[in-house]
Structure 1
Amino acid sequence: MSLLTTLARLEAVRSGRAQPLATVRHRHLAERPFVLVPLTAAGETGAPLAALLGCDRERPVLLTVPQPLDRDLRFAFLARLADELLPYLEGFGESVELIERTGKDPESGERTTEIRELCAEAPQLIVPNQGGIEWLGVLGRSMRFRRTAEDADPGPFPAPPRVPLLGRWLTHLAERAQVPGSSLLLPLTGVLARHWATGQSSLEDAHLGALLGWIAPPDGERGESAALRAENGRDAQGQLVCPPAGPATDPDFDRAVLGPAITRYDAARDAARVARDGAAAQGVDDADEAKDFNDLSGESADRALAAHVVAARAAEIDALLEAVLLPVWQQVWQGIDLLRTLPPGAHVAERWEGDRWSYTGHRDRLAAGEPPQPIRDDAVTAARKLAQREREQTRLDLQEALDDPLAMAEHRLAGQAFAGEVVSVEPAYDTSGRSPKPRPLVTVRTADRPHVEAGSELHRANGPSAQKAELAGVDEAAGLLTVRLLSGMGRKKEPEPRSVPEPGDQVCFTLFELSARQSAPLPEPEDTPWTHGGPPQ
């Protein structure tokens, strides 16, 4: 935790309200995001219990599993989830734009031009917290290898054809969510905690209700009391007023409410099975079950009544689970509204373009008929993913610092940057070459204390792209730093307009480079030695 974040948390405790950590929004928000609030059965890793999902804030879709231990009901849940989610995920693959890329042929060295398709937009899934992303990853791993009736060897329990396809999409989204700065799959608590500092711990920030209690407490109430009520407040029946964001359920809800409801559902199914088996022994036609049991008599009436009781017990469980999920559904949309109050950062669109390339690449792999993602990556693939995530984390930190004065303030407090007002500009030139080059001296008055010595390399954060400089002199008593600009001023003898700051301008210089360095290329899998996962000799 940085010093600035610590100070913001202390201020939140003093004021009773969350303090901003950013002046802009550092994540992309789609115009039409898909919200998914999952719920899982306690003690069953990855066993779905319910989900509330959709793009329409007023009309969410509820999917439930009345008995999570029933394999058929779980597969039916996954099939319905695929029917709801896949049209959204696949709906962005048709509209594309053509991107022209140039490069060199590795063999001939000649310059080549390649035209590639890039999807104009990409889907965005939003879940309440990090637990939702982990659940989707587990769900995708369990689904993408399922055999279907269309396979040559479907096995004893074939899944609907679109279930493994959804598993591949969920696996891709969960892996992309591990890339810093990605916005294809967002945990809302993590995004809110990046933009606001509360007066509680980072662990407590994982509770969406408590986090929103600090950010937007009710009128006249302090954040700590609103968060405490969100975490521990219970109704007359002893149930949480604000259920957790999941995906796990509350133990008291399982013991007092959900468990007895599932027991009643199991008893109704057992009674229906007994009635059905008895009717089958007597040769009663199954078509009689479709009639109203009030118009039937004898065995047919018993079967119809038993089926009606099963449906009623399932509807009871649906109502219980919906009551638990609806508050979280409303909290997710409230959090989205809060994020929309912040303007997007200047580099957000650039990172979203990376997400669009990722989405387009996965779309193309599916269209080409490539196999599902492996259970474990080989050594080269794992190393490439790790290098990409490290590079993207560095890139994200740099871009956030350039987009947001509060993010840059953390570097200034750490002595890695300084900002101030230009006092004077003195023209100077480098005459060591054939033609003189401008090297103006800029004197800056600042209250910052950067860890820098004369001759150190600097980079101008709010000037032309990649403008380098060096520290020419320090006057600590007067708080003055003299900087010599080295680049970004054009090729002429006189600097380009606005490439050199003028007296009165506000400038910011960093001690670190403003672009992430590329890591060394890794060998292809077939060229990797067997000691690192390559093919054996």
Structure 2
Amino acid sequence: MPLLSTLARLEAVRAGRAQPLTTVRHRHLSGQPLVFVPLTTAGEAGAPLGAMVGTDRDDPRILVIPQPRDRDLRWEFLAELATHVMPYLEGYADVVEPAERTETDPESGKRVKVETELCTDAPQLIVPSRAGIEYVRLLGRSMRFRRTAEQDPEAAYPVPSQVPLLGRWFTHLAERSRVPGSSMLLSATDLLTRHWATGQSSLEDQHLAALLAWIDPPAGRSGAEEALRAELARDASGQLLVPPAGPATDPAFDNRLLAPAMAKFDAARAERDLDRPRQAGHVAEAERAIRQLVAEQMSATWDAVWTAIDLLRTLPPGGRTEERWTRDRWSFTGHRDRVRAGEPPQPRRDDAVTAAQKLAARETEQARLDAQEALDDPLVMAGRRLAGEAFAGEVTEVVMAWTESKRPSPRPLVTVATEDRPQLPEGGGGKVYRSLDGRPQTAEFVRVEEGGLLVLRLLDKMGRGRDPEPGSVPEKGDRVCWTLFEHDARGGPKLPDPEHTPWTHGGPPGSATAPPLPDAVTDEDLL
């Protein structure tokens, strides 16, 4: 944890309320996000119990399964979920704008610009906590391989065509959420903890109600007191006053309320199946009781997510937030094209090259995100300065100098007085960077003079003439912030195509160089 974040947590404990970690919002917030509050059944992974979903705070769609262990009811629930989510996702697919994309020409191998189209906006799904993101991933994996009646008339438990399609989109959103800086699938707790520091642990911050209690406690009460109440307070019947943010439910709710209600539902269905007409009304009554119980568990979390969104909207967006959202739009457009082209769903496991490409892309995006957040936010930059990764100071002297070549280029020496302690090499030679009209200008660290003055030599962004362009060289008295990290992340080396994968990583699929399969297990292998 960065030192500045630790100090902010200590200050939150002293003040009794959360402290800001940023001055701007570092994630994109859609004008119409889709809030998704899921609940799952205890004892069976991936068995949904209910969900609240919608783009209107006052008009959520409430979906409940009266018996989650019934496979038919489960797929009916997912089909109904698809009818609410897919129109939202597809609503962004056909509104496009012309754009250019750089691709590799298969014949020449050169990078060329290709005219294409880009969706003007992309969907945004917001869940209560980080566990909700993992549950979206689990739902996507369980749905995207399901067979429909059109694909396989003899398939067991065929599903509507929207179900595997929603599974593919959920999988894409979950994969995109692993890319640092992406905003297509976000959790409310991660959004809040990026911008505020509380006086509790990171694990406790995943309780959305407790987190909100620290950020906006009632008058006269501390965040710690309200967070403790949100986590532990129960009514006379032993039920939590603030149910958890899901997808897991409280055991007291499961044992004392939900289990008896489901038992009544199962008994009523059994009586109905015995051709007893009077029991039909009992089934509907039992189903309504379960629906009311589950809806009450989700309603507090639904309101809490929208409260978190309102808090985040009070922060102005960072200058480079939309740049990262543009990359999300490219991702959405690319997946839309793959779906419309009839490509198969995402595989269960990535091949070696694809996995390495994803890992390299995430590392690059993480470096880019760290740099952009610091450049957009002086409070984040203060943390980098405290860590010795940047320094700010006043320019005390500028001495013009040029290279010794046929066409001399300007290499002015800039002296900076700073109280920061950057981790520069003692003998000089390290590079530092500053933002000049949105572009990084590079300077070389030359030496340290008496009084702790740092001497830098500017290397670029001064034009092609012998004299620097106006504004490209800082003047005496200017206060400039320099970073030891690059502003633009560099990509790694090009990876081989799947058909040229080395044998150490499985070899080309189906080739003779691939490692042989292990011998089959025989009776002699078992004791």
TM-score normalized by the length of structure 2: 0.93
Give the Å deviation of 1:109: 6.6
Deviations 1:73-128 (A, max 9, x none): 10110010000000001110001111124566453477854111111100000000
Q: Provide the residue aligned with 2:130 in structure 1.
A: 130
What letter corresponds to residue 432 of structure 1 in structure 2?
A: E
Aligned to 2:51, the other structure's residue is in SS state strand
What's the % identity of the aligned pairs?
61
Give the Å deviation of 1:446: 1.2
CA contact 2:139–2:167 (8 Å) conserved in 1:
yes
CA contact 2:122–2:329 (8 Å) conserved in 1:
yes
Correspondence 1:436 to 2:408: yes
Q: Provide the residue aligned with 1:499 in structure 2.
A: 472
Q: Provide the residue aligned with 1:283 in structure 2.
A: none
CA contact 2:361–2:491 (8 Å) conserved in 1:
no
1: distance between equivalents of 2:110 and 2:215? 57
Q: Provide the residue aligned with 2:482 in structure 1.
A: 509
Matches within 5 A, 1:100-111: 100-101=100-101, 105=105, 107-108=107-108
Q: Provide the residue aligned with 2:257 in structure 1.
A: 257
Task: Rate the CA distance shift 1:403–1:310 in 2: closer, same or farther, 3 A.
Answer: same
What letter corresponds to residue 392 of structure 2 in structure 1?
A: A
CA contact 1:262–1:317 (8 Å) conserved in 2:
yes
CA contact 1:459–1:466 (8 Å) conserved in 2:
no
What letter corresponds to residue 264 of structure 1 in structure 2?
A: K
What letter corresponds to residue 227 of structure 1 in structure 2?
A: A
2: distance between equivalents of 1:397 and 1:456? 24
CA contact 2:402–2:412 (8 Å) conserved in 1:
no
Task: Rate the CA distance shift 1:115–1:18 in 2: closer, same or farther, 3 A.
Answer: same
Deviations 1:186-234 (A, max 9, x none): 0111111111110000110111011111111111111100110110011
What letter corresponds to residue 212 of structure 2 in structure 1?
A: L
1: distance between equivalents of 2:346 and 2:326? 23
2: distance between equivalents of 1:68 and 1:143? 16
What letter corresponds to residue 316 of structure 2 in structure 1?
A: P
Q: Provide the residue aligned with 2:177 in structure 1.
A: 177
Aligned to 1:80, the other structure's residue is in SS state helix
Deviations 1:358-390 (A, max 9, x none): 100110011000011111111111111111111
Matches within 5 A, 1:223-262: 223-262=223-262
Q: Provide the residue aligned with 2:449 in structure 1.
A: 475
Task: Rate the CA distance shift 1:90–1:181 in 2: closer, same or farther, 3 A.
Answer: same
For structure 1, the 5+ residue unaligned runs are 277-302
Q: Provide the residue aligned with 1:30 in structure 2.
A: 30
1: distance between equivalents of 2:154 and 2:379? 56
Task: Rate the CA distance shift 1:268–1:529 in 2: closer, same or farther, 3 A.
Answer: same
Give the Å deviation of 1:310: 0.9
Q: Provide the residue aligned with 1:290 in structure 2.
A: none
Q: Provide the residue aligned with 1:117 in structure 2.
A: 117
Range with bigger deviation, 449-458 or 489-498: 449-458
Deviations 1:312-346 (A, max 9, x none): 11111111111110100000001001111111111
Aligned length: 508
Give the Å deviation of 1:424: 2.7
1: distance between equivalents of 2:434 and 2:188? 30
1: distance between equivalents of 2:430 and 2:154? 64
CA contact 2:409–2:465 (8 Å) conserved in 1:
yes
1:339 maps to which of 293, 312, 325: 312
Aligned to 2:435, the other structure's residue is in SS state coil
CA contact 2:403–2:411 (8 Å) conserved in 1:
no
Deviations 1:422-447 (A, max 9, x none): 22323x12240113322222222211
CA contact 1:63–1:81 (8 Å) conserved in 2:
yes
What letter corresponds to residue 447 of structure 2 in structure 1?
A: G
Q: Provide the residue aligned with 1:309 in structure 2.
A: 282
Correspondence 1:372 to 2:345: yes
Matches within 5 A, 1:346-385: 346-385=319-358
Range with bigger deviation, 462-471 or 363-372: 462-471
Matches within 5 A, 1:46-125: 46-101=46-101, 105=105, 107-108=107-108, 112-125=112-125
Deviations 1:274-300 (A, max 9, x none): 235xxxxxxxxxxxxxxxxxxxxxxxx
Q: Provide the residue aligned with 1:486 in structure 2.
A: 459
CA contact 1:52–1:60 (8 Å) conserved in 2:
yes
Aligned to 1:466, the other structure's residue is in SS state strand
Q: Which runs of 4+ in 1 moved over 6 A?
A: none
Range with bigger deviation, 184-193 or 403-412: 403-412
1: distance between equivalents of 2:102 and 2:241? 58
Give the Å deviation of 1:259: 1.0
Aligned to 1:169, the other structure's residue is in SS state helix
Aligned to 1:53, the other structure's residue is in SS state strand
CA contact 1:147–1:159 (8 Å) conserved in 2:
yes
1: distance between equivalents of 2:108 and 2:272? 74
CA contact 1:148–1:154 (8 Å) conserved in 2:
no
1: distance between equivalents of 2:101 and 2:52? 42
Range with bigger deviation, 496-505 or 181-190: 496-505
2: distance between equivalents of 1:121 and 1:109? 32
Range with bigger deviation, 339-348 or 415-424: 415-424
Q: Provide the residue aligned with 2:5 in structure 1.
A: 5
Correspondence 1:390 to 2:395: no
1: distance between equivalents of 2:111 and 2:306? 49
CA contact 2:434–2:442 (8 Å) conserved in 1:
no
RMSD, aligned α-carbons: 1.6
CA contact 1:412–1:448 (8 Å) conserved in 2:
yes
Q: Which has the larger radius of gyration?
A: 1
What letter corresponds to residue 261 of structure 1 in structure 2?
A: A
Q: Provide the residue aligned with 2:219 in structure 1.
A: 219
CA contact 2:371–2:485 (8 Å) conserved in 1:
no
CA contact 1:136–1:171 (8 Å) conserved in 2:
yes
Range with bigger deviation, 480-489 or 86-95: 480-489
TM-score normalized by the length of structure 1: 0.92
1: distance between equivalents of 2:74 and 2:109? 55
Q: Provide the residue aligned with 2:440 in structure 1.
A: 466
Task: Rate the CA distance shift 1:158–1:455 in 2: closer, same or farther, 3 A.
Answer: same
Q: Provide the residue aligned with 1:329 in structure 2.
A: 302
Q: Provide the residue aligned with 2:418 in structure 1.
A: 446
Aligned to 1:275, the other structure's residue is in SS state coil
2: distance between equivalents of 1:461 and 1:198? 32
Range with bigger deviation, 433-442 or 444-453: 433-442
CA contact 1:232–1:240 (8 Å) conserved in 2:
yes
